[in-house]
Amino acid sequence: MQRVFVKGIKGGLGSTSVVANLACVLKKSDANVIAIDLDAKSDLGLQFGLPWKSTKGWSNEGNFEDALVHFHQDSDGVIFLPFGDNKADQNEIISTINNCEKLDCPQNTWFLFDCPSYIYLERFPLKPNDIVIELINCDAICHSLIYKRLQKLKSSESNWKHYFLVNRYNSASVLEFDLFSLWQSTLPLMAPFFINSDEVIKESTAYRNVALNCAPYSIANDDFETLAGWLVSKAAL
Amino acid sequence: MRSLAYKDSQTLTSSDIENLARRFGGKSEDYIEIVNKQKNTQTINKYALLKEINSDLNTLISSNNSE
């Protein structure tokens, strides 16, 4: 089993669409994929074709056994668990993460957790084999946040595999090129590639699907295949 | 008529350095690293916020080292 936690270093960086697209690409390679929504926005299900009026998820149940009824499977075979429309504190989120380990699933299972940007990773029950993908944009605010995060990671003595991944990279921007080049040669935890800004991601969401199914030859889908291949090389499966 | 003047660049590129290393020996990676450092310094100095963060980080590192 491999756990991957995807979160933005700040809000609105596209962690939900990264989780949905990555899940479908991994599933295509015959892996068993379970995506868990830990974000109170609870919009991961929409990416997998869950009806808009379906609002319930694990947060609506008192315990994980009752939440099992909220697991769904999309047309690609990805299993997912929506957050729901109730509140959940940090302890309940941690409890959900821990309970997922008790699920009876094959050895080659990938758990993808869509995490909100405001959670404190340091308080999560992360293990050395866990992978955390922290999404960033090529902008100066992210530059500031990355260095603050690096200082926190250093002081917390984190032992999980932590990476920064540039999402929505605009190759026409001089600033983005400058920042990406700088980060590539100075930051120790940078993923060696980026996810391009591609209209296909927004369009496929509008069509209630993912880039793999809507535009399999798109730059976006290429990028997610690169991400999936790179994660496989980092995974402990 | 404007003549097409040959523009002689003062900046060495990665391939120039690799050619020099091939001709005279040495590791081209070392030289490319220096070029990258210069490029990084240029980028940091180009943007005010990056310059400020870099300066604060250097101060922090030197104070940690002196402790």
Query: Is B17 within a domain?
Result: no
Q: Across the interface, do A178 and B53 touch by the CB < 8 Å criterion? A: no
Q: Rounded to a whole number, what is the distance in Å from the CA of A142 to chain B's nearest CA?
A: 11
Query: Nearest Cβ partner of A178 from B36, B43, B49?
Result: B43
- Cβ contacts of residue B51 below 8 Å, gap of 6+? B44, B45
Q: B43, A140: Cβ pair inside 8 Å? A: no
Q: Is B5 inside a domain boundary?
A: no
Nearest C-alpha neighbor of A91 from the set A69, A113, A57, A123: A123
Q: Which residues of A touch B63 (CB under 8 A)?
A: none
What is the predicted pLDDT for the residue at A28? 93
Q: Are A85 and A60 in contact (CB under 8 A)?
A: yes
B52 lies in some domain: yes
∠ CA A150-A135-A221, rounded to 5°: 145
Provide, as residue numbers in chain B, all residues whose Cβ is less than 8 Å from the Cβ of A181.
39-40, 43
Instruction: For strands A72-73 and A79-81, give the pairing.
Output: antiparallel
Lowest mean pLDDT across A42-46, A124-128, A227-231:
A124-128
Torsion of CA B55, B58, B63, B65, to 10 degrees: 180
| Per-residue pLDDT, B17 | 66
In this predicted model, what pLDDT tens digit does every residue of A152-206 receive, in sequence order?
A: 888 887 789 999 999 999 999 999 999 999 999 899 899 999 999 999 999 999 9
Interface probe with A: pick from B29, B42, B45, B47, most Cβ of A within 10 Å: B47
Provide, as residue numbers in chain A, all residues whose Cβ is less than 8 Å from the Cβ of B47.
140, 175, 178
Is residue B60 domain-resident?
Answer: yes
Is there a contact between A5 and A130 (Cβ–Cβ < 8 Å)?
Answer: yes
Q: What CATH number has the domain bearing residue A144? A: 3.40.50.300
**Degrees (nearest 5) of the Cα angle A221, A80, A193?**
30
CB atoms within 10 A of CB A46: 17
Contact in structure between A6 and A135 (CB atoms under 8 Å): yes
* Chain A residues contacting B via beta carbons under 8 Å: 140, 143-144, 147, 175, 178-179, 181-182, 185-186
Closest chain B residue to A151, measured at CA: B57
Cβ–Cβ gap A140/B44 under 8 Å: no
Which residues in chain B are closer than 8 Å to A175, comparing Cβ atoms?
47
Say if residues A85 and A59 touch (Cβ distance below 8 Å). yes
List the single residue in B36, B46, B49 with the smallest CB-CB distance to A144. Answer: B49
Residue (of A195, A145, A191, A190) closest to A168 by Cα position: A195
pLDDT given at position A110 = 97
Which residues in chain B have their CB less than 8 angstroms from residue A186's CB?
A: 40
Bigger pLDDT: A158 vs A146? A146
**Predicted confidence (pLDDT) per residue in A39-98, tens digit:** 999 999 999 999 999 999 999 999 999 999 999 999 999 999 999 999 999 999 999 999
Give residue A166's domain range.
Answer: 2-234
| Residue B7 maps to a domain | no
Opening angle at CA B38, ends B37 and B40, nearest 5? 65
- What band does A219 get if pLDDT is binned at 50, 70 and 90? very high
How confident is residue A234, by pLDDT bands cut at 50, 70 and 90? very high
Interface predicted TM-score of the whole assembly (ipTM), two decimals? 0.81
Burial class (CB in 10 A: 0-12, 13-18, 19+), A135: buried
Reference A16, options A230, A197, A40; nearest CA is A40
End-to-end Cα spacing for chain B: 67
Residues near B14 by beta carbon (within 8 Å), at least 6 away in sequence? B28, B32, B35
- Residue of chain A with shortest Cα separation from B50: A140
> In angstroms, how far apart are the furthest CA atoms of chain A?
51
In the Cβ-directed half-sphere of B43, how many Cα atoms lie within 13 Å?
A: 22
In a domain, B49, yes or no: yes
Candidates B36, B46, B53; nearest CB to A185: B36
Residue B6 has pLDDT above 70, yes or no: no
User: What is the extent of the structural domain holding B50?
Assistant: 29-66
- Please state the domain count of chain B: 1
pLDDT in tens, A1-27: 999 999 999 999 999 999 999 999 999
Q: Which residue of A has its CA nearest to B39?
A: A182
Q: Please count the structural domains in chain A.
A: 1
How much is the pLDDT for A225? 96
* B44 is a domain residue: yes
Q: Residue B23's pLDDT band (boundaries 50, 70, 90)?
A: confident
Q: How far is B65 from chain A (nearest CA, A)?
A: 15
Q: How far apart are CA A57 and CA B34, in angstroms?
A: 54
Residue B43 and residue A143: Cβ atoms within 8 Å?
A: no
At residue B7, does pLDDT exceed 80? no
